Structures are given as C-alpha cells and as structure tokens.
C-alpha cells in the first residue's frame, strides 16, 4: 500500500476501483490518497462500521459496505475492536459530510486518513455487490489522487499481480506479540476468579475476552505462535481460539496446538477461524466460499434446540463436514463429532460439537460487537463445560 495523508488534499480527488475481471468503478477519494490492493468483499451490516474496520479478520481485504450511508456517527476510541484499522481499503456509496452523534470524536474520513487507509466513495455499491455475488470475491485495488490517472491496463496488471486469499497465512500478522491478562475485576466481577481461560489470539476482537471476564474468568490472551508447553504453563481450565484472517489450511502450527489441547482433555471453544481450525484438527477439510458471509444479520439454525439465531459473521472459508448426524472424526482418536449449527441461507457448517472430548465451536461471532446478542449464551456453555471438567476432577 502507498498513501499520502495531506489533510489539505481536495475532497473531489478522483479514485478508481479495479476488479481482477476488468470491471472498473470510478468515484471520489475517501480517506488517504494513494493505492492499495486486497480481496474485494462485501459486508451487509447496516450499523457497526467502526467495529467492521477494526476487526482483524478483515486483514488483506477491501471491504464494500452495502448500507448506503456510512460515517453518520463518526468515530470514537471506545468502539474500536482492536488496536488499529485492519482493512486494506474501504468502499462506500454515500459518505457522511459531517458526523452527527454525541459520542463522535472525529469523522470517519479523518480516521481513515490518519491510519493510511485508501478508500473510494460515490460509486454504485449495489452494482458492485451484485457483481461480487455473481462472480465471487475477487482480487482488487483502489487507486486515488494521482494514482487514479494511471492507465487502466496498468492498474489491472497491478491487481492481477497480487496473491490470492487462498493460501494466505495472516494470523501471525494480526496477533499480539506478547501475552496480556484481563482480570474479571476489570469488568465488574467482585469475587475471586472462577477459572482461567487461555485465548489464542488469531485476530481476536477486544469484546471477546471481556465477555469471559464478565463471567468471572481470568483471560490470558496469548500470541498465535504460542506452544503447547507455554499454554500449559498458564494452567488453563479452558482454551479458546479466536476469529482471524487467512486460509485455515495454512495454520498448521495452530492446528497441531489444538490437537494437543484435545488430547489433554482441556475444554475447548472456538469461533470463526477457531471453528475452521477445530474442523481441520479433527481431520475434516476446509474450502473457500464464493463470496463468504460478512455482516450482522446472518441466520443460523441451532440443530439441537431448533432455535434460529441472527448472528454476526465474517468469514470466507468454511468446514467441509457431513450434515447428516454424528460421525466418527477422520482423526478417530477424537471420537464422534456432529455439526451443531448450519446457515439457513446456504447450509454452510456454522458449528461443530465433539461428543467424546470437551470441545465445540461456531463459525459466527457471539461477542456481539456491534451486535446482535442472540449467541451470548455460548460463553455460558463454555463456562459450564469447564465447570463440569473441574467437578469431575474433584476441584
């Protein structure tokens, strides 16, 4: 990515979005000026754009907002889901001319510019989304300011020269470098901690460890490169694998770590990327979806209860596991497994439950930032799983 962040740059600077199939959209610059490359994907959430921008699962991607009006409520420090914006580029139709909200601290345009994020506004995002739904997510690039004047053939060559998201290893890029701990007392818990969770940061959102802490659990957030010996030294009552970007087939290190956790009988809970890694640890495959699930309005069926949940999702890969009842895992040492949740739009696997080892996962984001709250019970389910193991061990 190359950018300039001159606050005096004209608001009417041209910008162009180029897709790898040769489709071109021309609009106006938004955020920093310059050029950026990434996989073009669309998000259907009508709210929560700041949480979207700061979700590490979007690393390597240019995000298209299907909601037409973006930036109305500005930006504030409290709503960020991680330490920075992770999207490679940003595409909107109607950008707010000025924010209007009592919590706003600055405009979204200013925040994008300050963090060097190249964007484009004023294009037909409906037509762009329909294109991505028809052809699939594609390599793309945004070129603004002086970069927009380059010949289209040259821009297209740059777009096609970038690597595909398939085969991308990104978890280490977005993970923390050092372990840090979130104490329950920091989030209103007024008793002794009920247990300890080790959360492997593959692109974790800040609300996730907070949800554990609110339930009385001490959380050690550890880097993606953590070994089993380092994890075990923290004496976890449970292990959590977070959401994150990239192709799960590249995460061999984390997959082997998870297998060691399962062999040790430590309760496990994974979301999003963590769900895909559980699938691979059990011996199932994963595959790239045509355009993925991204937004805060994805319907999921809990097959155990028959309840339909409206969920927040952000993933382009999925687990390839049979939907027709419990099966023995391809890695037979882990026993029986069943698909616990499915997407009602396309029958994609949305959850896995192990029947002979204490482990389960879901493909969506139950931490509810920026919503919805239907799946918050999963944190309680994990707490119950840890309590059951502790009682069995006589603790």
pLDDT in tens, 208-263: 999 999 999 999 999 999 999 999 999 999 999 999 999 999 999 999 999 999 99
- Give residue 155's pLDDT band: very low, low, confident or very high (50, 70, 90): very high
> Which pTM does this prediction carry?
0.94
Q: Phi and psi dihedrals of 77, rounded to 5?
A: -70, -30
- Say whether pLDDT at 8 is over 50: no
Asked if pLDDT for residue 373 goes beyond 90, the answer is: no
Measured in residues, the chain has a length of 395
**Confidence (pLDDT) at 374:** 77
Peptide bond just before 372 cis, omega within 30 deg: yes
Is residue 324 exposed (0-12), middle (13-18) or buried (19+ Cβ within 10 Å)? Answer: exposed
Average pLDDT over every residue of 155-159: 98
Q: Residue 164 has what DSSP assignment?
A: P
Say what percent of the chain tops pLDDT 70: 96
pLDDT, tens only, 101-143: 999 999 999 999 999 999 999 999 999 999 999 999 999 999 9
Per-residue pLDDT tens over the stretch 185-194: 888 898 999 9
- Give yes or no for a contact between 61 and 86, defined as CB atoms under 8 angstroms apart: no
Annotated ligand binding at 74? The verdict is no
Q: Is 244 annotated as a binding residue?
A: yes
CA atoms within 13 A on the CB side of 296: 19
- Asked whether residue 85 carries a pLDDT value surpassing 80, the answer given is yes
Residue 57 assigned to a binding site: yes
> How many whole angstroms separate alpha carbon 275 and alpha carbon 283?
13
β-bridge pairing 14-19 and 138-144 = antiparallel
What pLDDT, in 10s, does the model give residues 228-240? 999 999 999 999 9
Is there a binding annotation on residue 276?
yes
pLDDT band at 145 (very low <50, low <70, confident <90, very high): very high
Confidence of residue 2 (pLDDT cuts 50, 70, 90): low
Give the per-residue pLDDT at 370.
Answer: 60
Residues recognised as catalytic? 272, 365, 367
Domains of the chain and any CATH numbers: 2-160 (3.50.30.20), 171-392 (3.40.50.880)
- 316 labeled binding residue: yes
* Residues sharing a CB contact under 8 Å with residue 392, sequence separation 6 or more, in sequence order: none
Are 372 and 311 in contact by the 8 Å Cβ rule? The answer is yes
- Is 340 flagged in the annotation as binding? no
Q: What is the CA radius of gyration of the chain?
A: 21
Cβ atoms of 27 and 138 within 8 Å: the answer is no
């Amino acid at each position: 990515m190359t950018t300039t962040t001159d606050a005096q740059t004209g608001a009417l600077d041209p910008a162009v979005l180029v897709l790898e199939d040769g489709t071109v959209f021309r609009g106006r610059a938004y955020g920093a000026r310059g050029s950026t490359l990434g996989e073009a994907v669309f998000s259907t959430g009508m709210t929560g754009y700041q949480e979207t921008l700061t979700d590490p699962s979007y690393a390597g991607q240019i995000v298209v907002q299907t909601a037409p009006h973006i930036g109305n409520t500005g930006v504030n420090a409290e709503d960020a889901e991680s330490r920075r914006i992770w999207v490679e580029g940003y595409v909107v139709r109607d950008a707010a001319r000025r924010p209007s909200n009592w919590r706003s601290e600055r405009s979204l345009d200013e925040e994008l510019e300050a963090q060097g994020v190249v964007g484009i506004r004023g294009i037909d995002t409906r037509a762009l989304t329909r294109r991505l739904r028809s052809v699939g997510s594609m390599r793309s690039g945004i070129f603004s300011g002086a970069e927009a004047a380059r010949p289209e053939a040259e821009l297209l060559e740059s777009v096609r020269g970038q690597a595909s998201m398939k085969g991308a290893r990104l978890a280490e890029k977005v993970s923390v470098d050092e372990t840090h701990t979130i104490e329950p007392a920091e989030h209103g818990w007024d008793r002794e901690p009920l247990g300890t969770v080790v959360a492997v940061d593959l692109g974790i959102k800040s609300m996730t460890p907070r949800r554990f802490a609110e339930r009385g659990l001490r959380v050690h957030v550890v880097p993606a490169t953590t070994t089993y010996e380092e994890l075990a030294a923290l004496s976890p009552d449970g292990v959590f694998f977070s959401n994150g970007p990239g192709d799960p087939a590249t995460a061999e290190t984390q997959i082997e770590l998870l297998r060691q956790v399962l062999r040790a009988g430590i309760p496990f809970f994974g979301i999003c990327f963590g769900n895909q890694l559980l699938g691979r640890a059990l011996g199932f495959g994963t595959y790239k979806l045509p355009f993925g699930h991204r937004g805060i309005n994805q319907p999921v069926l809990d097959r155990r209860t028959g309840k339909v949940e409206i969920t927040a999702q952000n993933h382009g890969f999925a687990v390839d596991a049979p939907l027709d009842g419990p099966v023995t895992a391809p890695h037979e040492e882990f026993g029986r497994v069943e698909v616990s949740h499915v997407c009602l739009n396309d029958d994609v696997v949305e959850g896995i439950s192990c029947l002979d080892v204490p482990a389960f996962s879901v493909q969506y984001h139950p931490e509810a930032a920026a919503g919805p709250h239907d799946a918050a019970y999963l944190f309680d389910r994990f707490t119950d799983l840890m309590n059951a193991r502790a009682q069995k061990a006589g603790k």
